Structure 1
Amino acid sequence: MRRNYGKKKARARPSGDLLKLLATRPRAVALAALHVSESMLLELEASELLSAAEIRGLLKDASTTLRNAADQVDNRSCLIASEIVESMRENFKRNKT
């Protein structure tokens, strides 16, 4: 896999078709984001950029932030997202110990 950390590419704006897809398929968008995030965390660990403990800490911080947001705005989606992130943290902990 080729990596280019030196230069940043200009980001292309999403096409109208992509924006329509994102708007009509929120569950698919969330699932894609979840899998990409998990893959990135595994790659960060495999490339030794982050330790397993650092990744667990990152996931714990994310879960706590989401839970606090849910308490402040009474947002059930934030609470469920917090539970999903906490589950990822527990699975990561279980698989790495």
Structure 2
Amino acid sequence: MAKKKVRARPSSDLLKLLATRPRAVALAALHVSESVLLELEASELLSAAEIRGLLKDASMTLRNAAEQADNRSCLVASEIVDSMRENFKRNKT
């Protein structure tokens, strides 16, 4: 039987940092996500076309959320994901 991994809770210092630096958190998440996608392609777990499809789906989900909740942040996030997709397409063709 496999042993379950126990995830440690973030420290209070980390939680305070996350709360006071939302732009930095978003930027870190963006770069980590992009790195994961590049690694998935490099290790041939996903093709470039599959990654572009994943980014397109994410963008559409954000765009739909923006329309339903009139949420400007979701719309901007959708535009960022679209930009990532375009850059990925440009660099892979």
Q: In which range does the TM-score fall when normalised by the shorter chain? A: over 0.9
CA-atom RMSD in angstroms: 1.3
Spell out, residue by residue over 1:34-92, the C-alpha distance to the aligned partner (whole angstroms, 9 max, x if none): 00000000000000000000000000000000000000000000000000000000000
Q: Give 1:1-97 correspondences, 5 Å limit.
A: 9-97=5-93
* Structure 2: distance between partners of 1:78 and 1:46: 29
Tell me which stretches of 4 or more aligned residues in structure 1 moved more than 2 Å: 6-10
> TM-score by structure 2 length?
0.95
* Structure 1: distance between partners of 2:3 and 2:52: 30
Give aligned-pair identity as a percent.
90
In the TM superposition, residue 10 of structure 1 has moved relative to its aligned partner by 2.2
Give unmatched runs, 5+ long, in structure 2. Answer: none
* Structure 2: distance between partners of 1:61 and 1:85: 10
In the TM superposition, residue 11 of structure 1 has moved relative to its aligned partner by 1.4
TM-aligned CA distance change 1:50 to 1:8, over 3 Å: farther
Give unmatched runs, 5+ long, in structure 1. Answer: 1-5
